[in-house]
Amino acid sequence: MRWNELDREACSVARTVSVIGDRWTLLILRDCFLRVRRFDDFQARLGITRHILADRLRKLVDDGILRREAYQDRPKRHEYRLTEKGLDLHPLMMALVHWGNVHMDDGAGRPLLHRHRACGHDFDPVTVCSVCGEPVGARDVHVHPGPGDRGPGLIQNGQ
Amino acid sequence: MRWNELDREACSVARTVSVIGDRWTLLILRDCFLRVRRFDDFQARLGITRHILADRLRKLVDDGILRREAYQDRPKRHEYRLTEKGLDLHPLMMALVHWGNVHMDDGAGRPLLHRHRACGHDFDPVTVCSVCGEPVGARDVHVHPGPGDRGPGLIQNGQ
């Protein structure tokens, strides 16, 4: 498997990883969800080179995850905002946060809390089944080939 | 921010990314959830060098996400299994899969389907609030500092 072919793998994880499977990209996206929008703000928060930041932002725009929008005319200045496709990464971001909260706690407690506007409470994300609404854990899922399977594929014998 | 200090950042996303924010690591974990357990199987599926694979597996064991277990004595052979901490990455993996299913579809349909054993239906993962049980999207969440915040921190003014 090669990186530049990862987006063509018959696997939705591999395709997603081809777009966001980069550490800086994940941290840029974290900041987007925290409403950071301007190049200099990303740079100050992340402390990465302007070259790497510009490259990652450009890729995110090319992939339709961020859109570049002028917020000032003279001189021309742009900001970066999540598209709907980008906003759909929210469950992924919540899953990253929650696992870190549970398993990478340094004893000081959670750096950030997430309040559900609708009910007004701080919450944890829970993954449930779209059909029955019950929680779904790793042991509750049977994986089987779908129409896009190009077998002999991802699933091992005896799965 | 430096990579080797990422696990000490006061941010649960950064800490998680320090452990799993590597493309190969994410694909190795995908395979673990598909019940791949043996070095040679990982290698054949991913087509990566033995050196890189051994390095990533060792890190996952060191981080407590996989455990190394003998399955044969002569010659000694080991396999890699998800720990409870590793199994807790399942929501993250489902979020990766689902976003890829929705946004990186190549027109052939889904490569894999996920069946919820309890209800018997193929499902999509839905993220809900642990308090009220209602779905939570990006616009439904207010982020605020928790006890582990070392401010001036992750949250911008006016958030």
* Domains in chain B, CATH or no CATH each: 3-140 (1.10.10.10)
Query: B88-118 in b/e burial notation, b at 16+ Cβ within 10 A?
Result: bbbbbbbbbbbbbbebbeeeeebbbbbbbee
Q: What is the mean pLDDT of residues B123-152?
A: 91
A16 with B127: Cβ contact below 8 A: no
The tokens for B99 are 């976003």
Q: What proportion of chain B, given as a percentage, has pLDDT over 70?
A: 93
Instruction: State pTM to two decimals.
Output: 0.92
Indicate whether B97 pLDDT > 70: yes
Across B13-117, the runs of DSSP E, i.e. the strands, are: 66-72, 77-82, 112-116
Interface test with A, best of B4, B7, B9, B13 (most A CBs within 10 A): B13
A16 with B99: Cβ contact below 8 A: yes
B99 with A88: Cβ contact below 8 A: yes
Going by pLDDT thresholds of 50, 70 and 90, the confidence category of residue B107 is confident
Q: What is the mean pLDDT of residues B59-83?
A: 94
pLDDT at A158: 43
Going by pLDDT thresholds of 50, 70 and 90, the confidence category of residue A5 is confident
Q: What is the mean pLDDT of residues B50-79?
A: 95
Going by pLDDT thresholds of 50, 70 and 90, the confidence category of residue B10 is confident
Using CA of residue B60, residue B66, residue B67, residue B72, what is the dihedral sign? negative
pLDDT at B5: 73
Write out chain B residues lying below 8 Å of A35, CB-based: 156, 159
* Beta-carbon contacts below 8 Å between A and B: 338
